Amino acid sequence: MIEIDQLTKRYGRTLAVDRLSFTVPDGQVTGFLGANGAGKSTTLRAILGLDRPTAGHTLVDGRPYVSHRHPLRVVGAVLDAASVHGGRRARTHLRALARSNGIPAGRVDTVLDEVGLNAVADRRISGLSLGMRQRLAIGGALLGDPGTLIFDEPLNGLDPEGIRWFRALAGRLARDGRAVLVSSHLMSEMAQTADRIVMIGSGRLLAEESLDALGPSLEDAYIRLTEGATNV
Ligand SMILES: Nc1ncnc2c1ncn2[C@@H]1O[C@H](COP(=O)(O)OP(=O)(O)OP(=O)(O)O)[C@@H](O)[C@H]1O
């Protein structure tokens, strides 16, 4: 579970996030929506301790992310799949990640299976397609079997079958009791993936609602709610 409480982040004169509060509860997929520059990445970075808030705080399972002894076992996150690269083989990459986080090596094969990369596990990452690297990054997030998952634009590079696979995976992770936060610009996809929606504009909360409460068209709700935000 993630709790964001009055999170504020200022970069010089830019107020990227402005007294933002919302919750990502266990057992549901929460879709995180906002226009370019609305403050989504800043919020995700704050949750993961990569950005220090100007004010307010973020908690994962009741504690700041950085205070968890083995963070990868608490939160799995994919912020930028393209950042997984290089000459290592996919399996070796996951093994190294497991080792450095005190995760049993046996988990690697389970995860490779889960993300559908068994057949290419011994290929070098540099030779994998963007979609395969996306799956590998998702595998890294699943490795510690965490109770909370954060996916930033996870559908980039995935083909239609990959998108369907991700949708099923997110649903399964939530049904197993995990808190799942997914940011995406793809409204139709969000409408099929999320149970609830958090929408932000200009760093402020615009809506935190169940998908059903936002009406029959998520896209219409998004346009309606973001119209007032200055940076749309
Ligand atoms: N390191 C930084 N230094 C200065 N300004 C920043 C920095 N990071 C983000 N910003 C600014 O903060 C605001 C929010 O940016 P952020 O990347 O969080 O938005 P976003 O919703 O993730 O956008 P996108 O969908 O385009 O990724 C923007 O005005 C951005 O220019």
| pLDDT tens column, 69-123 | 888 889 999 997 667 767 899 999 999 999 988 899 999 999 999 999 999 999 9
Choose one of 4, 14, 48, 222 to mutate for the ligand 1 pocket test, by most ligand atoms within 8 angstroms of C-beta: 14
pLDDT for 87 equals 84
Which secondary-structure segment (H or E) carries 133? helix 130-142
Domains of the chain are: 1-61+147-232 (3.40.50.300), 81-145 (no CATH)
12's CB contacts (< 8 A; 6+ apart) are none
Q: What is the pLDDT of residue 231?
A: 46
What mean pLDDT is predicted for residues 25-40?
94
pLDDT reported for residue 82: 66
Distance 63 CA to ligand 1 centre (A): 25
Residue-level length of the chain: 232
pLDDT value of position 226 = 81
Instruction: Say what the pLDDT of residue 228 is.
Output: 60
Q: Which atom of ligand 1 is nearest to the CA of 39?
A: 18
The pick from 15, 18, 42 for probing ligand 1's pocket by mutation, whose C-beta has the most ligand atoms within 8 angstroms, reads 42
Residue 232 pLDDT: 41
The pairing of beta strand 28-33 with beta strand 14-24: unpaired
Residue of minimum CA distance from atom 16 in ligand 1: 39
Using pLDDT thresholds of 50, 70 and 90, give the confidence band for residue 184. Answer: confident
Q: Is the distance from the beta carbon of residue 176 to the nearest atom of ligand 1 less than 6 Å?
A: no
In this prediction the pTM is 0.93
Strand order, beta sheet including 28-33: 75-78, 148-152, 179-183, 28-33, 196-201, 204-210
- List the beta bridge partners of residue 14: 11
Q: Is residue 230 predicted with pLDDT exceeding 60?
A: no
Q: 3-state DSSP helix/strand/coil percent for the chain, to nearest 5?
A: 40, 25, 35
